[in-house]
Chains A and B, each alone.
Chain A
Amino acid sequence: MVVSIEEQNGVTVIELTIDELDADTVAEFNQRAEACLAASDRLILDMNRLKFIDSSGLGAVLSVKRKLDARQGKMALCRLSAPVREIMDLVRLSSVFQIADTREDAVKLVEG
């Protein structure tokens, strides 16, 4: 299992339980994300355990956001580690996503 999924105030929270999301692990992430997308319009991706993400991982996260955008859903990322933040900045994705420091803040971003 690469993620654990829970519900918080009507928002689906996906917490990555692996420390690296890459071309090897992205397929399972995609499956789980698809399942969540089928069930919810409001998603939070909690990345606190993640220390590395490659272009396949970033592509997968971006794909989730685009699917939600297409149906006026909402998504936020939260609790990014310093190296993941650095990678997001490097590929200029930091401004594409809503990013919160805590899960509570992330919930507020996607609620309502």
Chain B
Amino acid sequence: MKVLLVDDDRDIRSLLGLLLRNQGHEVVEYSDGESACAACRDDYFPLIIMDWELNGMDGVTACRKIRKLPGGEYSVVLMFTARSSFDDLQLILHAGADDYVQKPVEIKWLKIRLRIAITNALNKTARRLAEQQLEAARAKEIETGSRIQQSLLLGQPPERLRGAEAAAYTLPSQSVDGDFYDFYQHSESCFDVVIGDVMGKGVAAALIGAALKSRILHAISELKSESRGEPPPLERIFERVQETVAQQLLSLGAFVTLCYTRFYPAENRMAFINCGHPRVIRRGRGGRVEAIANTNLPLGVIHNDRFQPVETALEPGDLLFMYSDGITEARGSDGELFGEARLLDTLAQLDEHRPQAAIERVIEAVQDFTAHGSAKDDQTCVAIHLTGVTAAAPFASDAMETSSELTQLKLIRRFVEAFCQRAAGSHCPELSVTALVLTLNEAASNVMRHAYANQPGLPIRVAADQYADRIEFIIEHRGAPFTPPPIDPDRLNAPRESGMGLPIIQSVMDEVEYINGEDGLNAVRMVYYFPRRQGQD
């Protein structure tokens, strides 16, 4: 055991040093308090034997200082003193010493006192080790939880939205919480934002959050395939999620606050279901702010809640702000909460609407309020800005009229090839002309063979528009309206002799829409976004 021996009397140091070394201990000796403190700063001594009277800093002061060092509580301090008054002895114990030895002392008593001190020191060392291991295990758990959070709980804001822009941010607290958010984009003009908070911390909360997110995703994709690709109604998503997770949450004693919002930016509206999550804040024109009312209890509180989405009309320019309670429950130095009123005020005073800027401003305001103290809870925000939809004119447009004979497929391919080669030349060298030619061929071939049931001589119009970021194709016809069956995205993995056309169209195009017009004019609209180059936003 490493023993620190501090005495200004060389003879006593020699005697004690000899005793301890004979028992196999390693002894470090000093004659003054300052050196003893410095040694303890650099090293851990399970046992410190110190005289009260020392050169320079006395033993009681040194003991007090050592106890304040990180890990200083894990040493056993045995104080030697010639003093014997009650007040003196009390002073020694108040300074943090574990025991004292009154001088002069007979060697046989000294040996016994040393044995007791060494036993205590062994126990404290074992406790120190156990606590260090526990601390390492806790740190490991936090790291695991934080990795789960980063990889499974936080989604990426969609980049290609028509009439809206989105941003999201999480400032993780020292421990891991169950904050999560995600985005589900149904089309460029319809997307969902979900933001939630699992009550509790650590890996358990992160795992519940991840499981819930996966249930939501599962519910969406199941319902979407049942509704032939239409975005499923919010209440149906919640019913399905509730069926699968509410009982588990109840039995775990956990609950989750969740706000699920669907945006239709081109139609200037949104619909949401809010289960006990902080209210969505809307900032409208002129800095007018309002918090939009809550409807439901958190998930896991009751097992058969009914869900009714709240519809809200919006205006171009509106900013919608969703957040976790880590924002409003951040505490200032006096213990006061940041609160919803302060958040509303911060958002009212924004001088710009970009969602990223709004989030930065809120985080800054919270940090100023908490005097940059570390966050007790995750601070998560998602902001959506309605930019308004302006119909930009295409850079290039072309169209061809043809008819429903299969021999015309070749002409359609020539048309698409020429249009795409021009687009590749002017905007996107990486564009795969072959893939687009194949896709339009498949769509046109479907129109001829299925919508027109192989009847020749019927009209088909193919049009292409090129924009800065995409090409839009439309094939118009007067054949039978067509609604595609749900397509398994992995269908191309199982090669088949027929029915490959739809999966090809689905895998090459970013958006495919079948428009069945009331006047008998039907169409397939397909959008291909140019691959994004590195370094591009």
A interface vs B, CB < 8 Å? Answer: 20, 22-24, 52, 54-56, 58-60, 62-63, 66, 83, 86-87, 90-93, 96
Contacts and interface: CB of A to CB of B under 8 A. Distances in A.
B498 A59 contact: yes
Interface stretch (B65-73, B158-166, B295-303, B436-444): B436-444
Contacts of A90: 434-435, 438, 504, 507-508
Contacts of B257: none
19 contacts: A20-B410, A23-B406, A23-B448, A24-B410, A52-B434, A52-B437, A54-B409, A54-B441, A55-B442, A55-B498, A55-B500, A56-B445, A59-B498, A86-B434, A87-B438, A90-B438, A90-B508, A91-B492, A91-B504
Interface of B: 405-407, 409-410, 413, 432, 434-435, 437-438, 441-442, 445, 448-449, 492-493, 495-498, 500-501, 504, 507-508
A55 B501 contact: yes
Contacts of A52: 413, 434, 437-438, 441
Contacts of B493: 92
Contacts of A62: 495-497
A52 B434 CA distance: 8
A24 B406 contact: yes
Contact of A86 (B406, B435, B497, B498): B435
Contacts of B437: 52
A41 to B, nearest CB: 20
A93 B500 CA distance: 11
A24 B498 contact: no
B409 A24 contact: yes
Contacts of A91: 492, 495, 500, 504
A87 B432 CA distance: 10
A93 to B, nearest CB: 6
Contacts of A66: 497
B449 A23 contact: yes
B87 to A, nearest CB: 89
Nearest to B503: A91
A92 B497 CA distance: 13
Nearest to A51: B434
Contacts of B498: 55-56, 59
A60 B496 CA distance: 10
A49 B488 CA distance: 34
Nearest to A63: B497
Contacts of B410: 20, 22, 24
A66 B496 CA distance: 10
Interface centre among B406, B432, B492 (most CB of A within 10 A): B406
A22 B167 CA distance: 45
Contacts of A20: 410, 413
A3 B497 CA distance: 20
A90 B493 CA distance: 10
Contacts of A87: 434-435, 438
Contact of B438 (A23, A54, A60, A96): A54
Contact of A22 (B441, B496, B497, B500): B441
A78 B448 CA distance: 31
